[in-house]
Every structure is written in C-alpha cells, then in structure tokens.
Amino acid sequence: MGDSSAAASYIHTVHHLIEECILFNMSKEECMEALSKHANIKPVITSTVWKELEKENKEFFEGYTKRREDRATAEWARNGTRSNA
C-alpha cells in the first residue's frame, strides 16, 4: 500500500508543478524540459500527467492553447513587422 501512496503523491507533485508551468504560460514541451531540468522528473511522466489533465479539463486546455497561440501571433506581429501603427 505504501508504494501506491508514494506513486499517488508523486503524481500529485507533478500535477502541481504542471500548474506552476501553466501560470508561467509554458507549452507542454517547455514544461517537460523545465521539470526534467529543475525537478528531475522524466519528460514521459510530465507528458502523461499533462495528457490526463487535458482529458479531464478539455475546455480549459483548448482555451489555454488558443491564448498561447494568440500571444505568439501578437508577439510575432509586434517583432516581425516594424510598423509605427
């Protein structure tokens, strides 16, 4: 029973760290890299937990992805074209 409790605790920790990545507006790939580097969490673990969160919170992640894309487009427009509009 201790092993399953430890696994659940580990998954909960990864879940919490993914939420922190989201607060920093990171993509799944950026989050996987950050957690691998700073928390020694294997990217496959982060990816698996992220995918489960996407399944459970489909609308949130659709909006999150759209907002990230919109920000990237706005950033590109700001830096890609040097207009004085």
Report the candidate in 37, 64, 63 with the shortest Cα–Cα distance to residue 17: 37
Domain span holding position 69: 4-81
Give the chain's end-to-end CA distance (angstroms, integer). Answer: 63
Per-residue model confidence as pLDDT tens digits over 4-40: 999 999 999 999 999 999 999 999 999 999 999 999 9
Q: What is the pTM of this model?
A: 0.81
pLDDT band at 3 (very low <50, low <70, confident <90, very high): confident
Q: Could you give the CA distance from residue 52 to residue 29 in angstroms, rounded to a whole number?
A: 15
Based on the structure, what is the number of domains in the chain? 1
Per-residue model confidence as pLDDT tens digits over 36-80: 999 999 999 999 999 999 999 999 999 999 999 998 888 888 887
pLDDT value at residue 36: 99
Q: Could you give the CA distance from residue 26 to residue 15 in angstroms, rounded to a whole number?
A: 14
